Structures are given as structure tokens and as C-alpha cells.
Structure 1
Amino acid sequence: MVSIPYMQLRGGSSKGIYFLASDLPEDVDARDQAILDAVGRDARQIDGLGGANPLTSKVAVVSASSDADCDVDYLFVQVVVGENRVDTTPNCGNILAGVGAFAIESGLVEATHPKTMVRVLMTNSGNRCDLEIETPNGHVKYDGDTAIDGVPGTASPVICHYQDIAGSITGALLPTGNTRDTFEGLDGHYEVTCIDNGMPVVVMRADDFGVTGYENADALNNDADLKARIEAVRLKAGVAMNLGDVTDKVVPKMCLIAPPVEGGNVSSRTFIPHACHSAIGVLGAVSVATACALSGSVAEGIASIPDGLVKTLSVEHPSGEFSMTLTFDPSGAVQSAGLVRTARLLAKGELYLPKKPL
């Protein structure tokens, strides 16, 4: 076998393996094969460190940044569970939350007292996020009083300042050019809003699909007919969003929305893209909230949106809610998104991979 250094961190409500780019093969195909060996190739991921779930089958590849305005470059790699392949199309805001701690722990960034700002270039999309981390006496602080839904207990906050993330993957906030589109599905036509403010998402009204939007994730995952109808719309939307054939891609995510019931601004059930998320992804939540704030979207009459150019919005999901602050300019364009995550170092050491024959 061969060994490579690694760290495993919980980032937000996900868990991933973090590597220095210099510890992985330079060749992209060889790098991806090493990552598959590390996380696991089969549906159980029995021969790797993955948890047989999309939320625990994630990888961050980090290096010193080639951009003078950033400290580190971060490539997100999603291992597609059970399909023996990876996808580097999307970003992941949860795994991003652990990048700052990893960069400091691995010596890429020098910590300062009492806080450190780590400027991250998300190389999947070319966007930037500045991570504000508590580092008393130059050491990453993991314990704290900040709680986020989907994670037990409390931890030190990681403040994420996303800059100019509109059109992260598709090139436009509204990749179809419309606030509202209609796509033909298996059993009729569906109105949707296609949005990309950090993550390509198709926002749909839950009652259009014959569900309330308040079901738990297991109930939705066990509804094969519902998932087939959602996938039919996803394939049409992917082409319209300039993503091409998305059959084997993890974007766009699909989000069913309903009126809020727990004091938030909208209720959500997100498919990533075929399994219903037990919570909601960071950038997925930002995109959904942005769609709800746009006049003429399918969220009209469903979401409750405050006035003003700076809006604090809460997206309800199966295990709680996700809050963020969106800042708009006078023309209505999104300037930035700010939100709070937490992260914790779980393990570090050597990860063993099978040695490939020459």
C-alpha cells in the first residue's frame, strides 16, 4: 500500500476528507482514482472512509492560492455514492467551512490573535469566500457556543463572507434568462425558477407535485413516482440552464418549497439531486433564499420576504432552519451573502491506498 497525509473534518452539516493538493497526483484522472480509493467505490463505501451518504462522501483539495487576492485554492470533489466516480462541478459551502481550519492546521496560513481571515478561492467556480475563524493565541478554536441545525452540540463559529457568487456554475444568476420557466414533465407542465447564486437550483412549488413540502426526508425518498417526476423536470431544466445533459451530474439540485411553519421565510425539501437532503446545503440555501426574494419567482405567495436591500432570511428544512444575510444593490442584483457555520477537526494522520501496478 501507499500512504498519504490527510485530515478529516466536519464542515457545517457535512463531513469530508481534506488533502493538500501536493500530496495527491498531479494528473486529474490519477487524482480522482486516488480519491475514490480513499472514500470508497461501492454503495457501502466499506473499503474507504466515506459514510455511504452524499453528506459524508466529500473531499477538499487545498493548496496555496495562485490568486494574489486569496490565501488558498479549494477544489471540492463529490464522490457519487455507489457509482465509482466523482463530480467536481458544484461547490460545497459546508466543506468550505472547514477549509480555513485545515489551511491553518497544515501550515498554509499563519493564524493571528484573536481571529484569522482566510481568503478562499473556490476553484470549482472561480468565486471567493472569506472565512473568519476564531484563533486565540494563534490556534484554531473548535469549542464554542454556536449551534447549527443538523449538528449536535455547539462549536466555535466560522463566519462565511461570500463575494459575487451569482452565476457560479452557469454564468448567470438566472441561467435561463427568466425568473419563471415552464417545463414539461412526465404528467404535465411545471412552473419553476432556475437560480444560481452559488449553487444551481431548480425551485418548485411542493403542491404542484402533490406533496405538502413538510414530509420528512425518508417519506420523500421512498416515493419513487415523485422522484421520477422531479428527475424528468431536472433533465429539461439542466439543458435550459446551460448545464447540458445532467443525467450523470449532481447539479442542478431540486428544491420543493412551501409556506413557512416554524417562523422562517420559506420551507424547503431539497434533492441532491436524487436523494432528499435531511437538511439543506449552504449554497443551496443561499440560492433558494435568493429565488424567494426575486419578484415574479414561483415563491410569490409562498415565501415571506422582508423589505430593504439587506435581508436576513431563514430557510426551513427537515432538521431545522438555515439563516443568512443577503445584500442587494439598488438595481436588485445580489452583492454578497453572509452566514454562520461551524467546523471541527476529527482526525489527521496517514491514509492508506492500494498500490497500483505499473
Structure 2
Amino acid sequence: MTSNKVHLPQIKVPATYMRGGTSKGVFFSLTDLPQAAQVAGAARDALLLRVIGSPDPYGKQTDGMGGATSSTSKTVILSKSTQGDHDVDYLFGQVAIDKAFVDWSGNCGNLSAAVGAFAIHAGLVDASRIPENGIAVIRIWQANISKTIIAHVPVTNGEVQETGDFELDGVTFPAAEIGVDFIDPAEKAKEGEPGMFPTGNLVDEISLPAGVFNNSPELDNSLEPRYSPEPRNSLEPKKIAATMINAGIPTIFVNAEDIGYRGDELQEAINADAKALEMFESLRAIGAVQMGLIGHVDEAKSRQHTPKIAFVSPASSYTSSSGKQVETCDIELNVRALSMGKLHHAMMGTAAVAIGTAAVIPGTLVNLAASGGTLTKAGTKADRKTDSICFGHPSGTLKVGAAAEQVDGQWTVTKVSMSRSARILMQGWVRVPDES
């Protein structure tokens, strides 16, 4: 039987598929998008969902460019900057895998490393700002969160240099090093508002309902627990200490030991445990309400990208997912973070900003886990802290530098820096059915 329905041909949209840090996504110039998608709204979201291949009830994104993980279900839209003293405006969309939803509530720190390079490739940066040989300093306006990012992009013979010998744990092959500075990444304190710490406290408590707390995960029998787990089915609410911070991206930090983990776990230890994932999502949702990001825990379902939830522990040795041995002496602490409901294979760049910031502020759980709170050594005054921290994550280690200062009793961070890498994987056109 033949159908009388007219099936329109696919449309093609200029696009570039790029890796940035330990993430990858589809990059667009704003003016290359179909007219209806050049403004925020349903048409733009529908296009990006179809490009990535969502929503996919199979959870594979087979019919799109996505890779079915939070690190590979990403989109970026760039344009010449509308802000003074900036080169390019950067808009990030985190595409849900199993839902028809694009989350615009935060930034992707890893893909931030690719923004400067793409901006040069796409002709969005004035030629006078690109050296023939050297480092191009690209001033990026992060439009999702209204913050400035500076990318230091190597240039050789007038072109972006992508190859090099810089190695980044979580990325298989070396590439050229790109320095990324997140300028004033934390929320500024306003009159009557606490700023970087939304609750006004360095440490709060999150009360998990009875039956949700999962503090006896399935452990590798070869590893001896460093805590005494309580019964999984306890009927009492469990109070969990938490540092809630808005720097880089809203993030909730808890102690690994308080939720029954060592802090050196890899993905399979968390992602294969449905009860654990339920517990982490409950922590995230309740914390989001306490941070003032949502009004009710049910709203967390439509805000998967933010806040992030992470757990910290003092430095300890472990074998990373690649088989690389991470020694206690190599790091100040261990950090594991979840993104879009799953333990991340490495570390989100924005979460690394939060880690670096919290590490240099005395009294946060991150600072206390890092060398017993003695991490911050640099700086000549108690109200000014500058230091770098190297932490362990599932794929290896990452070093982050941060500078913070306390003014009138309020902490703020002036800059967080890290090194990443980026390169073009493919460029040309992405094709989608016309109805999208």
C-alpha cells in the first residue's frame, strides 16, 4: 500500500564535530542555523535534539551524532560577540538522551577548550587578534551563565595548531595544549544574598529520606572497606554533610565515607547500582532546593545538567580506568562526580572549577579532604589564597589552579585555570529530516 503523505528531503546544516577536553559535541555558527533556530525556543531545541538523536528510548542515540553519554550528548552555538572586549559568544546546550529536553542552565568546561579554536576556524575572531605564530588569546563570553572565559590557543603559520604532545587523562591521544582561564567564575555576593555559597554556609546538611540512603554498595572483595557500613534498609533519615557552591557550575560536595564509599571508585561501581544512582539523585534534588535552584525536588527531573553532585575523600592510591596507577603522593585528594545521572568517566571542566575553588577556601569539605585542610600554602594573607590542586578522578589526575579572596567576610574566586586540549574530528554538514 502506498502512502499519500509527502516526505520532505533532509536539510543540511554546516556543522563541526569537535572534541574539547574529555567531551565532544556538535558545533555551529549561529548564522549557519536555519532561520527559525537562530533564536532560542522550540525550533532550536527540536533541531538540536534531532541532530544528536534524542529522545532515544533505547538509550543509544544511534540515529544521531550523540554518543549516549553525558560527555558526548552536547551542542555548541557560537557567534561574534555582542559584549565589549570579547571575541565570541558561546552558548552550550546539554541534550538529554532519553527525554525531549535541552538543558541551557549551565556551561560545559571541557568544550570551553574547543570554543576558541572553533571561533578561529569559523572566522569569528578578528584577524588582527590572531598571531602568525604564537598564542591567540580568545576572549569568550559564556552566554548561559554570563561569565568570561579566556582560551589560550596555539597558532602555527596562522592556523590553529591541534597536534602536540600534551597528554590529558581521559583522552587517548596527545594533542596541543590549550590553557583555559575561567574569570570570576563564582556567583558574586549581592545585598541580602550570600553569593558563592548559596546557603551562606561552608558546610550544610542534606537529610535523605528513610529508605533512600545506600551506604553498603557492592564492593570488590579484594578491597577492604575503610568504614563500617550501616544497614542499607535503615528506617531513619540520614543526615549528610555537604558543601554547596556555585563556582563554574552549581555543585554539591559530600564526603565519600558518609555515603559508604572509599572515594576511589570507577564507573562500574556506581553506574551498575540502581539504588546508588537513586541515592545520588535524591542528594542532588534535595540539595538543589536548598541552593535555591529549584522550588521542589520534582523539578530536578527537568534540570539534569545542574547542579552536579560529587563525593570527595583524602588522597589514596588506585588504578584508573586506563590501568594507570595513581599514587597517593601524586594527588591532594580523590574526587568522583556524576553528570546526567551517571558517574563521569573523568571530570567535567566546570566541576573542576568548583573543586579548585572549594579547595582553596578553608573549611569546605573539599579543602578538608585535601591534606587535612592544609592545602592552601600560597598567599601572604589569611584572606587571600592562591594555589593549585591535583586531584584523582576515574581516568587519572587533573591539576587546577585557583585564586580566591575574602572581602568583608565573603569569599570570592577571581580566576580558575587548567590545561585542556581540543581538535576537530569532522566538519561539513549535519543532515536532519526537514520536519525537525
TM bin, normalised by shorter chain, reads: over 0.9
How many Å apart are 1:27 and its aligned residue?
Answer: 3.6
Q: 2:241 matched to 1:191?
A: yes
324-333 or 42-51, which moves further after superposition? 324-333
Query: Residue type of the partner of 2:21?
Result: G
CA distance in 1, matches of 2:246, 2:367: 18
Unaligned runs of 5+ in 1: none
Residues 1-358 of structure 1: matches in 2 within 5 Å?
1-24=10-33, 25-28=37-40, 29-41=42-54, 42=56, 43-109=59-125, 110=127, 111-114=130-133, 115-167=135-187, 172-187=195-210, 188-244=238-294, 245-249=299-303, 250-261=305-316, 262=327, 263-299=330-366, 301-304=368-371, 305-308=375-378, 309-329=385-405, 331=407, 332-356=411-435
TM-score (norm 2): 0.79
TM-score (norm 1): 0.95
Query: Residue type of the partner of 1:39?
Result: I
Query: Residue type of the partner of 2:20?
Result: G
CA contact (8 A) 2:107 2:145 kept: yes
CA distance in 2, matches of 1:204, 1:330: 23
How many Å apart are 1:295 and its aligned residue?
Answer: 2.1
Q: 1:171 to 1:8 in 2, by over 3 A?
A: farther
Query: Residue type of the partner of 2:23?
Result: S
Alignment RMSD: 1.7
Unaligned runs of 5+ in 2: 1-9, 211-237, 317-326, 379-384
- Helix, strand or coil at the partner of 2:137: strand
CA contact (8 A) 1:11 1:95 kept: yes
Q: Percent identity?
A: 32
197-206 or 256-265, which moves further after superposition? 256-265
Query: Residue type of the partner of 1:329?
Result: E
How many Å apart are 1:301 and its aligned residue?
Answer: 4.2
Query: Residue type of the partner of 2:148?
Result: R
264-273 or 31-40, which moves further after superposition? 264-273
- Helix, strand or coil at the partner of 1:76: strand
- Helix, strand or coil at the partner of 2:347: coil
- How many residue pairs match? The answer is 356
CA distance in 2, matches of 1:293, 1:186: 32
- Helix, strand or coil at the partner of 1:284: helix
